[in-house]
Amino acid sequence: MKILLFSSLALSLFAAHADEDRGRSGASLPLLPKYQQECSACHLAYPPGMLPAASWQRLMSNLPKHFGSDASLDPATLNELNRWLVGNAGTTKRVSSAPPPEDRISRSSWFVREHEEISAATWQRASIKSAANCAACHTKAEQGDFNEHRVRIPK
């Protein structure tokens, strides 16, 4: 009985941790092809679990002024992507506790904690350019894999 109880507890903890990881990064969620096509034309198509629903709604409602660029979409595509992003947004306490300033993933409290050991000079390297360039260091970012064991910080 003790073994069964211990096994159930261990499985529950593993499942909770897995849910938190999915909610934080959305890594287990395949990207909507239209989302990947539209967004990765300019930057990594970030997993929707990296931001809360309210942030995605604000970002999608302001695409004509998307971080200094006009990322406008036709109404049908906008509605489809907005529904998908909001429906798959981060829901864990880590992600949804407070929207990051300017709805930037790189300014969210969880992102800052995860990257606190990275110096300002490292972010400014020509090979990295900014904290928003996940793929510069996360070798499998395009597949939604942000595992710290596969990080390679370029020179």
Do 41 and 90 lie in one domain? The reply is: yes
Do 66 and 38 lie in one domain? The reply is: yes
Q: Give the pTM.
A: 0.78
* 133 assigned to some structural domain: yes
With a pLDDT cut of 70, the percent of the chain lying above it is 82
Do 81 and 121 lie in one domain? The reply is: no
CB atoms within 10 A of CB 121: 7
Provide the domain count of the chain.
Answer: 2
Cβ-contact 20, 26 below 8 angstroms: no
pLDDT value for 43:
94
Do 128 and 80 lie in one domain? The reply is: no
* 143 assigned to some structural domain: yes
* 15 assigned to some structural domain: no
Q: Which domain holds residue 47?
A: 32-103
Residue 28 CA to residue 12 CA, distance in Å, equals 18
Confidence of residue 151 (pLDDT cuts 50, 70, 90): very high
* 147 assigned to some structural domain: yes
42 has pLDDT over 80: yes
DSSP 31: P
* 52 assigned to some structural domain: yes
Cβ-contact 66, 59 below 8 angstroms: yes
Do 82 and 145 lie in one domain? The reply is: no
* 21 assigned to some structural domain: no
DSSP 30: P
* 76 assigned to some structural domain: yes
Residue carrying the six token digits 């159930």: 8
CB atoms within 10 A of CB 37: 12
Q: Is the dihedral of CA 39, 30, 130, 18 positive or negative?
A: positive
51 has pLDDT over 80: yes
- Choose between 43 and 9: higher pLDDT: 43
Given 63, 83, 103, the domain boundary residue is: 103
* 17 assigned to some structural domain: no
> What residue type is 34 in one-letter code?
K
143 has pLDDT over 70: yes
